[in-house]
Structure 1
Amino acid sequence: MSTYGDVTHTQSSSETPGKATASLVLGIVGLVLIPIIPSILAIVFGNSAKQQIDGSGGRLGGRGLASAGVVLGWVALALWALFIVAVVAL
């Protein structure tokens, strides 16, 4: 038997704001199910969460969740706008 020694794993114990998670969930819902209201809320919550995370001095994490929610919100709104333009053009 070999002994490899102690391996210490450090993990960031930063919390994720609920707005970041809500932004991601609303972005997915806006993209898949109902496009307008959840997409707008995803953008608003995501931007608010990013400001909260930036102002926390490293205490809060989840910036990627918030950014993904904002991107999904914008994508859903863009697809909805393209759909409306296509319907009007016909």
Structure 2
Amino acid sequence: MSYNAPPPPGGYGAPQPAYGGAPMEHPQGTTILILGILSIVCCGIFTGIPAIIMGRKASNDGQAYSNAGVIKAGYICGIIGTVLSVLGIVFYIIMFAIAGSVSLSTS
């Protein structure tokens, strides 16, 4: 006796994206990261402050970005680079003041 089973049901198609779709990427995320890294490496305040401003603005947009980690890393690097630059400037001012006072006292 031959039994003919019905064919299996058809596929359900491609899975649908999550409600609201996937989060989009912030267009300036990479720029924020590059400015933050440059503030640590060489440029200090000149690239650190823009990285802080742009990172803060991107974080306060109220949207979930797929590259939020990149934005946060650039923001933090900008803070670190700016603080290191300010500390370096203060150090050099103190050293010049000490050198000036020593040279005046020996003359």
TM exceeds 0.5? yes
| Identical-residue share of aligned pairs (%) | 28
Compute the displacement of 1:13 (Å).
Answer: 4.2
| TM-score normalized by the length of structure 1 | 0.72
In 1, distance between residues paired with 2:53 and 2:33?
A: 11
In structure 1, stretches of 5+ residues that fail to align are 1-11
Corresponding pairs, count? 76
In 1, distance between residues paired with 2:27 and 2:34?
A: 11
Runs of 4+ aligned residues of structure 1 deviating over 4 Å after TM superposition are none
In 1, distance between residues paired with 2:34 and 2:90?
A: 27
Higher relative CO (Cα under 8 Å, sequence separation at least 6) belongs to 1
| Aligned twin of 2:45 | 36
In structure 2, stretches of 5+ residues that fail to align are 1-20, 96-107
Q: Which structure has the greater CA radius of gyration?
A: 2
| TM-score normalized by the length of structure 2 | 0.62
